[in-house]
Amino acid sequence: MSDTTDTQGSWLSDDDIATMRGKMPVVYINAIPVLTDDLGIVTHIGLLLRLGADGDVNREIVSGRILYGERVRDALLRHLEKDLGPLALPQIPASPQPFTVVEYFPNPDITGFYDPRQHAVSLAYIVPVDGDCEPSQDALDLVWLRPDEVTSPTVAAELSPGHEKLVRRALAHVGRLP
C-alpha cells in the first residue's frame, strides 16, 4: 500500500463540491500551530491572516478538507505545509489524536461553530512547530501570540466564526487558558 495520496485526482469541481456540501457533512482538519518552551509548555499560538470570500480580513487557524484516500496525518502535514511553508517542521505523532471534534453548521445557533456553506465535521489538533514559518498560498501573514493576547477581545473579534472558541478549547486542553 502506498503512503502517497493522489491529490490531483481527488479534487472535485466547484459544482460537485457545492452539491456534496448540500447533501452530507464534509470531514476537515483544524490545526492550531503552537510554539513551546523547553518543557513542552505552549508559549505562543500561530494565527493566519486571510482575505475571506466576503472581502473581510480574518485571523484563522490552519484548516482544510481531508481528501478521499488520504490519512489524517497526511492531511495535517499537507495543510500545515500549504499555510506555514515547507520549513515549518510540524511535530505530528505517527498516530495523531484530536484534542476535540467540532461540527460547523450553516446555522450559527446550533453549536456556535459556523460555516455558511455547509455542515462540516472537523478533527482539531494542537501541533507544535520547530522550524521557520512563512505564510504561503492564500495566507497574507502569520502572527505568533501569547495565550493572553490570543484570548483578548480584540483578537477574538478578528477570528473567523468558531475559531475563537476552538482556540480557547485548545488553550484549556493544554492548561494555558488565562
Residue 55's pLDDT is 80
- pLDDT for the residue numbered 2: 42
Q: What is the pLDDT of residue 5?
A: 47
Grid cell listed for 70:
488520504
- The residue that leads in pLDDT, 61 or 117, is 61
Global pTM reads 0.87
Phi, psi of 120 (to 5 degrees): -130, 145
Domains of the chain: 14-173 (3.90.79.10)
Nearest CA to 30 out of 110, 161, 122 is that of 122
Percent composition of the chain: helix, strand, coil (DSSP 3-state, to 5):
25, 30, 45
Across the chain, what does the average pLDDT equal?
90
Say if residue 1's pLDDT is above 50. no
* Cβ atoms of residues 84 and 136 within 8 Å: yes
DSSP string covering 27-55: EEEEEEEEEE-TTS-EEEEEEEEEE-TTS
pLDDT tens digits for range 97-116 = 999 999 999 998 999 898 88
The set of cell numbers assigned to 152 is: 483578548
Quote the pLDDT of residue 35: 98
